[in-house]
Amino acid sequence: MQGTGTFWMPFTDNRAFKAAPKLFSAASGCHYTDVAGRAVLDGTAGLWCVNAGHGRAPIVEAIREQAGKLDYAPTFQLAHPLVFELSQRLVDVFPAGIDTFFYANSGSEAVDSALKIAFAYQAARGQGQRTRLVGRQRGYHGVGFGGISVGGLPNNKRGFPLLAQVSHLSATLDIASNAFTRGQPQTGADLADELLAIIAEHGAETIAAVIVEPMSGSAGVLVPPVGYLERLREITREHDILLIFDEVITAFGRLGAGTAAERLGVIPDIITTAKGITNGAVPMGCVGVRRAIYDTVIEAAPGGIEFFHGYTYSGHPLAAAAALATLKLYADEDLFGRARELEVYFEDALHDLVGAPHVIDVRNMGMVGGIELAPREGAPGARGKALFDACFEAGVLIRVTGDIVALSPPLIISAAQIDEIVATIAGALERLD
């Protein structure tokens, strides 16, 4: 044997990690257990995905059973019944009108699939000149080349070739006007009118789709101003441009409803999702589209393959089984309803941090909370990292992006556990310089 193998960790300071590893070996309910046997309260539902809590028996059983029954089947030219059953079931979770589903294995793949679907649709209806995409500053749409092109996080884009015809709207966060807002900020809807300027510059007839997260998670919890998404919907409809909501984080109860689209009453043409679709237990991404989009693409290529795109694991039997069991669990325990009820308590608890040292904003929607810290002078991100380490040390897992804390606990979390997370953060902030 030559040399020693190692794991190249994603989005990680590999040297720092390997000097002081944090390793989980088990999880149950709202807790991880690390390799030393210490319990860590999961304030982030893994990476925004374990909405029903960890190690849920019906999901575990469904995966186990499916693995023994049909471990794998292709979905190119063949398929298996579960993936159709799942598509039927998802109709109840997605907003009215979105009833056709394409499967991928992650949020990134779902986004790149959705962008290709947008191009395929435009071409199929004779609008092949619509080759421009519109994203948003600070948007996160995964790490595929399409996703980083429409995304707006400079670190993720730097050094990579990007799609050429992409315009970006401004991010909606305005701490100067909206600090410590509970729920949606009242001002900022007019930022959607920037789309009119992009249309004026390039012509609506060149734009295929606009993609935004209805509520940005990964970039640091950016809650949409009242009226903003409505305005985007209005403009895209007026100019016959597809509107895509990237709901990789916001679907499956995170905002107290099946989707953010439902919660906010704005229905796009395409929704991308992943994460909570299987409660994080098996990788799966999904693109939901209006039936007319599917029909148009299908009808444009009679007698042939209509869409040259797909993955070996699209609609994988284990993922489909996990998703079906997950959706049933969400329904059986009314976890979306629970999230809606718990949101009030969670919001109050989060806003107890107003006035804590270094805190310059607290924002929230559904079971998502963002706490923004003033950066330490000359060392952006240092406070966030110190807070993460202090909370981990104290047995609470939070997520930080730079100096912004993002909380997204499992929807089964108790009020006492919410208090524990907030008290741990408050205590750690007191000790931070």
Contacts with ligand PMP by CB under 6 A lie at 106-108, 111, 140-142, 213, 217-218, 246, 248-249, 274
359 or 367: whose CB is closer to ligand PMP?
367
Whole-number minimum distance, CB 251 to ligand PMP, in Å? 10
320 or 359: whose CB is closer to ligand PMP?
320
- Side chain identity at 167, as an amino acid letter? S
- Side chain identity at 334, as an amino acid letter? D
* Cα 200 versus chain centre, distance: 31
Residue 175 corresponds to which tokens in the numbers above? Answer: 């701490």
Distance CA 20, CA 25 (A): 16
Whole-number minimum distance, CB 112 to ligand PMP, in Å? 9
111 or 390: whose CB is closer to ligand PMP?
111
10 or 303: whose CB is closer to ligand PMP?
10
Whole-number minimum distance, CB 247 to ligand PMP, in Å? 7
Whole-number minimum distance, CB 216 to ligand PMP, in Å? 7
> Which of 208, 243, 235, 238 is CA-nearest to residue 118?
208
148 or 386: whose CB is closer to ligand PMP?
148
Whole-number minimum distance, CB 49 to ligand PMP, in Å? 8
8 Å CB contact between 368 and 227: no
**Rg (alpha carbons) of the chain, rounded to whole number:** 21
Distance CA 304, CA 298 (A): 9
Distance CA 153, CA 373 (A): 19
Whole-number minimum distance, CB 194 to ligand PMP, in Å? 20
Distance CA 308, CA 301 (A): 11
Q: CA separation (Å) from 117 to 70, 146, 152? A: 29, 12, 21
- Side chain identity at 188, as an amino acid letter? G
108 or 326: whose CB is closer to ligand PMP?
108
156 or 187: whose CB is closer to ligand PMP?
156
Chain residue whose CB lies nearest ligand PMP: 107
CB atoms within 10 A of CB 58: 16
Distance CA 62, CA 59 (A): 5
Whole-number minimum distance, CB 432 to ligand PMP, in Å? 26
Helix (H) or strand (E) holding 311: none
